Amino acid sequence: MAITIDLLISKTNLNATMVKEPNVVGVKVLEQNGVNVKELITALVYNASVEFTAYYYFTNLRAHCVGMEGEALKGIIEDARLEDLSHFESCLSRIYELGGKLPLDAQDFIKMSGCEFLQLPTNPIDTKSILEKCLKAEQGAIVNWNKVCMMTHGKDPATYDVAKDILREEIEHEAWFLELLYSRPSGHMRRKFPGERPHTHKHSRALG
């Protein structure tokens, strides 16, 4: 028998009174929909750490794109870098709305990302190696955000809305680096301006 919204609210209010915790209907309805909220929070915090750390590493990789060839690549890496920052900020509100939080220690937060592979290559100005690292990062992000989409589709519209918009931009980023490395046409035009984030701008105020 379906639980009515009035019964759900009154029941959670009673439980909240007994344990002195707030009644978070926005979480309760997700649990009723079949969402494992703890697993979802874990996935979101992990993804946030990856996006934050990728932003740092892409900053360093971009700085080492030198010479005529490297200068031509800076703008593309810059677009991906700034949009990774947008992705980090885009998922923060959902983490806290769901009852999660970020680690207290920034080093713990960065370490959980597993992004050490984005450190500069042995030859720090080897543009091909830099592009390969960027591609690997974008492909990993696609897997990460697709997982969140699968966890939330049809169950958690708010988180799904954020995740699918981030996923869309990550797929575009992958296409850019595939085009540069393998001459596989992406079919994309350049962003109108650095950090345009056409899909996630509504979720993040990081870039204005």
Binding-site residues for Fe cation sit at: 51, 87, 138, 170, 173
Report the Cα 63 to chain-centroid distance in Å: 23
* Binding-site residue positions: 51, 87, 138, 170, 173
Residues in the chain: 208
Long-range contacts of 31-40 (CB under 8 A, 24+ apart): 32/3, 32/8, 33/155, 33/156, 34/155, 35/151, 35/152, 35/155, 35/156, 36/151, 37/98, 37/99, 39/151, 40/98, 40/148, 40/151, 40/152, 40/156, 40/159
